[in-house]
Structure 1
Amino acid sequence: MTSPEVHTTGIGRRERKRQQVRDQLYGIAIDMFTRQGYEATTMDHIAERADVARATVFNHFTQKTGFLEEWGARRRARVLEILRQEHVEDLPVEDRLRRYVGELATLNIDSRAETAVLMEASARFGQLLRDPTPELALAGIIADGVSRDEVRPGVDPAEAGSLIAAGYFASVIRWAGAEPEPFDLRERLDGMLDIVLGGILA
């Protein structure tokens, strides 16, 4: 299941057309990666399937890993939009963290085959474990908790966000990389948050 097209209201015709081509290339690439594998799919394959010149693909995505980066960015954007519509910023920090991670879990579960291929490819060839964006989003939630005295003094939001992000990615990669599913992803992620939020010492 690929991500929805980017919202294009309020931009000019040329830019709208360019975005439509980019969306088409993205959708085709993600479908091909999922069906035949990331390594087995070349930029030439994507161009042929889209019926465009090879240069057109490179004009939108200069490297094949660009599709992986776009995939991660679109998924995070979708989650943030869902949470924005639900006004979760008014919730306590624990509930916000659980909603954020829970929506990511739902995306993965609803598109498990896609997640299995793209998450592994992102870890091997992309910037998955070096991209600070997920950590920053989580750190922002925790920082709000610090300002509301919902988080104990001395907690570094960036470090806590990094810890949750690492737990999330490790869980999803293990879950997506085995058949049948080795565990319930939502339960595993919720349990991970229990440990992070509550600590491990008696």
Structure 2
Amino acid sequence: MPRWEPGARERLVVAAVDLFTEQGYDATTVAQIAERAGVTRSTFFRHFSDKREVLVAGQETLSHLLAEGIAEAPEGASPLEAVAAGLERASGAMGPMNRELGPRLKAAVAASAELQERDTLKSVGLATAMKAALAARGVPDATAHLAAEMGVLAFKRGYARWAEADRDDATGLAPHALAALEDLRAATTTLG
């Protein structure tokens, strides 16, 4: 087994999600994940501190892209327009592998309380990054917090729609995330 074979991180994510889906999170070991991915246990630990961290692979990059898109939104953009710019930027980093893993990852998370907890922490991290980027644009705290939470919800809803959409739909994640954000914006007008 080559020590530094390219694509190890991606193979580890796919192997982990496959095993979580096939036999459950609790029954899956790091050794099994590494073996399925064709790498050593030490390679696994170079990429992840433990098996639940596989769930948040790419979270740091995603948070950075969301914040970067918000920061680069046109001057005068509303908070939700800035969030939309963040969603567009982050969506560009999501490729076919992300789309294919979506339904399986969702099932694995639904079947494990530990993964549900980690998924919640991931959402908090994404919201925190967006809120900070909005605050840096001068958006008041309560508005920044609400817009960031709506951004996370829009991303999740858009991702779910994208993952479940017809595979012939090559439009990417962005239109789904932006449509979800618009749905949420419209829903706020009915809150009273």
Alignment TM-score, normalising by the size of structure 2: 0.62
Moved over 6 A (4+): none
Instruction: Give the aligned partner of residue 170 of structure 1.
Output: 157
Q: Which of 79, 88, 96 lines up with 2:72 in the alignment?
A: 88
In the TM superposition, what is the alpha-carbon distance from 1:33 to its structure 2 partner? 4.2
Distance 1:80 1:119, change over 3 A: same
Q: 1 CA distance for matches of 2:66 and 2:165?
A: 30
In the TM superposition, what is the alpha-carbon distance from 1:101 to its structure 2 partner? 0.6
Q: 1 CA distance for matches of 2:58 and 2:106?
A: 9
Aligned positions, number: 171
Please tell me the root mean square deviation across aligned C-alpha atoms, in Å: 4.0
Which residue type is aligned with residue 72 of structure 2?
Answer: V
Q: Which runs of 5+ in 2 are unaligned?
A: 23-27
Instruction: Give the aligned partner of residue 128 of structure 2.
Output: 136
Instruction: Give the aligned partner of residue 38 of structure 1.
Output: 20
In the TM superposition, what is the alpha-carbon distance from 1:194 to its structure 2 partner? 3.3
Instruction: Give the aligned partner of residue 107 of structure 1.
Output: 93
Q: Which runs of 5+ in 1 are unaligned?
A: 1-19
In the TM superposition, what is the alpha-carbon distance from 1:134 to its structure 2 partner? 0.8
Which residue type is aligned with residue 128 of structure 1?
Answer: D
Distance 1:83 1:101, change over 3 A: closer
Q: Equivalent residue of 2:120, what SS? A: coil
- The answer to whether structure 1 residue 194 and structure 2 residue 182 are counterparts is yes
Greater C-alpha radius of gyration: 1
Which whole-Å deviations, capped at 9, do the CAs of 1:123-152 have from their partners, x for residues lacking one?
65252223311101221233244x2xxx6x
Which residue type is aligned with residue 88 of structure 2?
Answer: G
In the TM superposition, what is the alpha-carbon distance from 1:64 to its structure 2 partner? 1.1
In the TM superposition, what is the alpha-carbon distance from 1:161 to its structure 2 partner? 1.3
